[in-house]
Amino acid sequence: MNIKIFAILLIGVILFFGSCVKKVDRDSSSSSAPANPCEDDVDNTIHISATKAYNDEDYYKALYLYKKSCATNYTPSCNYLAYFHYSGKIVEKDVKKAFNIYFQSCKSGDSIGCFNTANMLRAGEGIDKRNEELAVSLYKSNCKNDHYKSCFNLGVMYHKGKGVEKNIEKSKSYFQKACGGGVGLACKNFYLIESKNVKYLPNLRK
């Protein structure tokens, strides 16, 4: 097994068994999340300035500030930085670099970093080959800590039998949890499965 993949597997196990992770289902644009989920007293002023520049479409300034903030291991900034490289926004597109940054964010216990790491593992982006089983492990550890988009993707994986044995009842339970957490599409999917009217269930990307 690739050393990096093995390391992620260990992270998934650690997260699953209750290490300190962010338990709020926030997106990567949040400017108030602590860099270290075990520490609340974190200076996020650089991240706030970076996000303001991003929202003002001053992307070069935003990129500079996100890099500076990420260097302090402030994971919300790292997630933005990874997005720049993933999307090719004002920089050369580099999905491998994006994966590495999301992976580092995940190692620090950031739910968004783990979610995007799992997404890329599932799709085989930025790595040698896809690993749906490991993606499921990361989604599970995230869902356990109320990251509802991860619960949603677990619902899709169980419904399709991707990375896990197909299990419609588990699929429904994960969609139900995601629905309760405010993921509207999960409510629709739960209803479609209940009414046996399912044609296609997409994963969430961000």
Tell me which of 133 and 25 has the higher pLDDT: 133
pTM for the whole thing? 0.81
**Residue 67: pLDDT band with limits 50, 70, 90:** very high
My answer on whether 198 and 105 are in the same domain is: no
- Residue 195 is predicted with a pLDDT of 85
* Domain coverage including residue 62: 1-10+43-145
> Domain ends where: 145, 170, 186?
145
Which structure tokens are listed for 120?
A: 């890329």
* Same domain as 152, residue 95: no
Instruction: In whole angstroms, give the CA distance from residue 31 to residue 52.
Output: 10
Task: Give residue 196's pLDDT.
Answer: 80
Residue 6 and residue 108 share a domain: yes
Q: Is the pLDDT of residue 96 over 60?
A: yes
**The CATH number of the domain where 70 resides is what?**
1.25.40.10
Q: Distances from the Cα of 41 to the Cαs of 32, 44, 66, 79, 106, in angstroms?
A: 11, 9, 19, 20, 20
Mean pLDDT calculated for residue range 187-196: 89
Rounded distance between C-alpha atoms, residue 177 and residue 182, angstroms: 9
How many structural domains are present in the chain? 2
Within a domain: 25: no
Q: Please check whether residue 117 is in contact with residue 5, taking contact to mean a CB–CB distance below 8 angstroms.
A: no
Q: Which of 122, 120, 139 is nearest to 177 (CA)?
A: 139
The answer to the question of residue 26 being in a domain is no
- pLDDT per residue as tens digits for the range 73-90: 999 999 999 999 999 999
pLDDT computed for residue 36 by the predictor: 44
> Taking residues 193-204, what's their average pLDDT?
74
Same domain, yes or no, for 86 and 155? no
**Residue 16 in this model has a pLDDT that exceeds 50:** no
Quick check: 17 pLDDT over 80? Answer: no
User: Which pLDDT score, from 0 to 100, does residue 13 have?
Assistant: 43
Q: Which of 145, 163, 195 is the last residue of a domain?
A: 145
Question: What is the overall mean pLDDT for the chain?
Answer: 84
Identify the domain boundary among 145, 171, 186: 145
Residue 97 lies in a domain: yes
* 164 and 135 fall within a common domain: no
Whether residue 70 is found in the same domain as residue 90: yes
